[in-house]
């Protein structure tokens, strides 16, 4: 697999030194590398395009990778650990600080128009998930973290090769890249953990209520290892993947923009409501509970016990707002203003405006049992996956594949975040040799990730390509026919021209 310039920017000795210096994620900031731009085609092309656009040359470059989540879907915002790895595809930005207070943003993709604004008056329109708003999220996050009001301007040219709305975290990679750009222009320092936490919070400006996995792996990733990402406090642990298998990403070619639809944030809301009903049933202070993990922590029980508690407490029929109010002993107005209030950053009610024709509370229903069952079972699968990777039994690949298959079934049936194309692609991948296959990312479109025995990789790629991309009657854009083997890549970096 071609590594483009990203894997060849440093010699093996330099790479080993970089890895050594980056071990302490809690205190070290992103690495800075000096490179000969002329020796790296992508950087050189970006430099030339920058000069053509702005009439000057970049002072530095920043890259932030996308990611594939191997297992642990829709549970980071519930407080549970996830298991992603960074991918080769990334966002790359060429940057020149300027003396004016104007941000000038351009993109190498002509589909994304130029944008300029005052660096001291950042406005982010949640109703329009335009590409430049993701840059503004990262910029504003750093600005507000340091409490700055008089920022310098900059010229930026963005080049991304992560397929958009594919479940590989193109949006979060741009937020992270912009955050690191801004930090570098200011000449300030933050650790990778601090950057990840700031960018997680700042992406909420665009209206999505994610839990932090995407930003964390973009900064904390290291080449050669997946990561178990844990939250509160944020930390990353190496997970060595089996050497006899390859992870393959396949794009369904169905796009789903989290910020443009309400599906994602309604799931966040359902998980919050499930947590509150479970807490109330167990006589916990339910008003304080926001995440399903908090219920488990307060009860001091296992995930398996939480599944039993869920089955004994919640019913499988959808809950109406009125029933939720009866369970919690509150009014509809209190439900709307105290639990689903649009006035706090943590709450997703504002996303309901994206539903058709201003949905009213009394026509919404919430599948609390199904969502909680998925979250607790998926959290257990993540820990089982890590344990198998550590113990390396003879049938490691088979066992990991079974967990991935169970994950997809739960995403499809309990969390309802799959779609027919993803289900078809998963079936095709399993038919042609994948030991396990599942949707990855938010779902409702995007990509699958499959674990494939290394000796079957060539035939797997050929057969899946023919069965899904060539035989279908879909009108597929060629560049979206992404089907590739991947391996764990490194995290965000700053490049200086030597």
Is there a catalytic annotation at residue 214?
yes
Q: Percent of the chain at pLDDT above 70?
A: 87
Q: How confident is residue 481, by pLDDT bands cut at 50, 70 and 90?
A: low
Q: What are phi and psi of 457, to 5 degrees?
A: -60, -50
Catalytic residue among 76, 90, 159, 214: 214
pLDDT at position 471: 79
pLDDT tens-digit map of 236-292: 999 999 999 999 999 998 887 655 457 888 899 999 999 999 999 999 999 999 999
Under the banding of pLDDT at 50, 70 and 90, the label for residue 2 is very low
Span 444-464, mean pLDDT?
96
Q: Which residues pair with 369 in a beta bridge?
A: none
Domain ranges in the chain?
22-240+490-497
Q: Of 328-342, 429-443, 467-481, where does mean pLDDT reach its minimum? A: 467-481
Which pLDDT value is given to residue 414? 98
**Residues 325-339: tens digit of each pLDDT:** 999 999 999 998 888
Contacts of 54 (CB under 8 A, 6+ apart): 96, 104, 106, 155, 157
Q: What is the mean pLDDT of residues 29-42?
A: 95
Stated length of the chain: 498
What pLDDT score was predicted for residue 363?
44
Q: Would the pLDDT of 45 be above 90?
A: yes
| pLDDT at residue 25, as a whole number | 58
Tokens representing 126 are 């949640």
Is 276 exposed, middle or buried, given 0-12, 13-18 or 19+ CB atoms closer than 10 A?
A: buried
Band (473; pLDDT cuts 50, 70, 90): low
pLDDT on residue 482: 82
Q: Which pLDDT does position 261 carry in this prediction?
A: 59
Q: What is the pLDDT of residue 105?
A: 98
pLDDT recorded at residue 257: 61
Identify whether the C-beta of residue 193 lies closer than 8 Å to the C-beta of residue 220.
yes
Over range 428-440, report the average pLDDT. 98
Q: What pTM value is reported for the model?
A: 0.88
User: Mean of the pLDDT values across residues 54-77?
Assistant: 97
Quick: pLDDT tens for 74-85: 999 999 999 999
- Mean pLDDT in residue range 57-67: 97
User: 81 with 229: CB under 8 angstroms?
Assistant: yes
Share of residues in the chain with pLDDT > 90 (%): 78
Structure tokens at 251: 């794009």
**How high is the pLDDT of residue 341?**
52
Which pLDDT does position 349 carry in this prediction? 40
The pLDDT tens digits for 91-138 are 999 999 999 999 999 999 999 999 999 999 899 988 777 999 999 999
Return the pLDDT at 318: 97
CATH code 3.40.50.10860 for 22-240+490-497: no
Q: pLDDT, tens digit, for every residue of 157-202?
A: 999 999 888 889 899 999 999 999 999 999 999 999 999 999 999 9
pLDDT of residue 355: 36
Mean pLDDT, range 395-413, rounded to an integer: 98
Amino acid 415: pLDDT:
98
pLDDT tens, residue by residue, 345-376? 333 344 433 333 333 444 489 999 999 999 99
pLDDT at position 256, please?
73
- Computed over its alpha carbons, how large is the radius of gyration of the chain? 22
Q: Which residues of 448-484 are buried (b: 16+ CB within 10 A; e: fewer)?
A: bbbbbbeebeeebbebbbebbbeeeeeeeeeebebbe
């Amino acid at each position: 697999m071609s590594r483009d310039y990203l894997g060849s920017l440093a010699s093996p000795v330099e790479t080993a030194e970089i890895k050594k210096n980056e071990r302490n994620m809690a205190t070290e900031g992103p690495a800075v590398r000096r490179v000969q731009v002329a020796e790296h085609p992508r950087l050189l092309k970006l430099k030339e395009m920058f000069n053509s656009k702005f009439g000057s040359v970049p002072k530095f470059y920043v890259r932030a990778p996308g990611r594939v989540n191997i297992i642990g879907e829709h549970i980071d915002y519930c407080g549970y650990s996830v298991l992603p790895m960074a991918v080769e595809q990334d966002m790359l930005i060429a940057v020149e600080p300027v003396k004016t207070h104007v941000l000038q943003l351009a993109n190498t993709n002509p589909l994304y128009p130029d944008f300029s604004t005052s660096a001291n008056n950042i406005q982010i329109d949640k109703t329009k998930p335009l590409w430049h708003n993701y840059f503004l999220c990262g910029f504003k996050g750093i600005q507000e973290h340091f409490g700055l009001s008089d920022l310098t301007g900059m010229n930026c040219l963005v080049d991304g090769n992560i397929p958009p709305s594919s479940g590989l975290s193109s949006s979060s990679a741009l937020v992270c890249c912009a955050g690191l750009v801004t930090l570098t222009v200011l000449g300030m320092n933050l650790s990778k953990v601090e950057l990840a936490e700031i960018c997680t919070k700042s992406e909420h400006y665009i209206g999505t209520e994610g839990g932090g996995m995407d930003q964390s792996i973009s900064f904390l990733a290291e080449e050669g290892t997946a990561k178990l990402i844990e939250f509160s406090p944020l930390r990353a642990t190496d997970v060595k993947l089996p050497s006899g298998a390859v992870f393959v990403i396949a794009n369904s070619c169905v796009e789903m923009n989290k910020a443009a639809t309400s599906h994602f944030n309604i799931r966040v809301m359902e998980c919050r409501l499930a947590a509150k009903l479970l807490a109330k049933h167990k006589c916990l202070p339910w008003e304080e509970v926001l995440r399903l993990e908090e219920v488990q922590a307060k009860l001091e029980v296992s995930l398996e016990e939480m599944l039993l508690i869920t089955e004994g407490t919640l019913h499988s029929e959808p809950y109406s707002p009125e029933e939720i109010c009866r369970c919690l002993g509150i009014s509809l107005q209190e439900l709307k203003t105290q639990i689903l209030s649009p006035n706090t950053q943590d709450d997703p009610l504002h996303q309901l405006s994206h539903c058709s024709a201003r949905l009213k509370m009394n026509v919404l229903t919430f599948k609390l049992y199904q969502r909680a069952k998925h979250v607790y079972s998926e959290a257990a699968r993540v820990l089982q996956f890590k344990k198998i990777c550590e113990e390396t039994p003879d049938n490691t690949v088979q066992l990991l594949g079974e967990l991935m298959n169970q994950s997809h079934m739960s995403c499809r049936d309990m969390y309802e975040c799959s779609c027919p194309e993803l289900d078809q692609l998963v079936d095709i991948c399993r038919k042609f040799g994948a030991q396990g296959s599942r949707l990855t990312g938010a779902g409702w479109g995007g990509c699958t990730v499959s674990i494939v025995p290394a000796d079957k990789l060539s035939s797997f790629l050929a057969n899946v390509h023919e069965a899904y991309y060539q035989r279908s009657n879909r009108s597929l854009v060629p560049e979206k026919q992404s089907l590739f083997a991947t391996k764990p890549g490194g995290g965000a970096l700053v490049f200086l021209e030597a």
